[in-house]
Amino acid sequence: MKQLHGYEGKSRNAQAERLYGEAMRKYGNMSEDALIGRLADMVHEQKRNGTFDEVQLLGFINTITPHLNAEQRQRLESLLGMIGE
């Protein structure tokens, strides 16, 4: 049987779930406005000091998106548009 080169399915899912759990513990009690403000502040700070990692941000976004309703997803997309500027 052939091995799939670079396959990370289970470990990647486990890592995503771990990150989601950590985020919920850290930010779960914050209001939506506070979360958006915190995300914007973090991205601004990371861009300023040269540590912004768009891949990491998109990975986090992909992890949390299934847990959001349609309205929250729309607001998140709007925020991502502002971050990209």
Q: Where are the domains of the chain?
A: 31-85
Q: What is the pLDDT of residues 55-73, one digit of tens each?
A: 888 877 887 788 788 998 8
pLDDT tens-digit profile of 7-61? 445 555 677 777 778 877 887 787 878 877 888 888 889 889 999 888 888 877 8
30-52 exposure pattern, b = at least 16 Cβ within 10 A, e = fewer: eeeeebbeebeeebeeeeeeeee
Instruction: Using alpha carbons, select from 47, 46, 35 the residue that is nearest to residue 76.
Output: 35
User: Rounded to an integer, what distance in angstroms lies between the CA atom of residue 47 and that of residue 40?
Assistant: 11
Token pair in block for residue 59:
């990975």
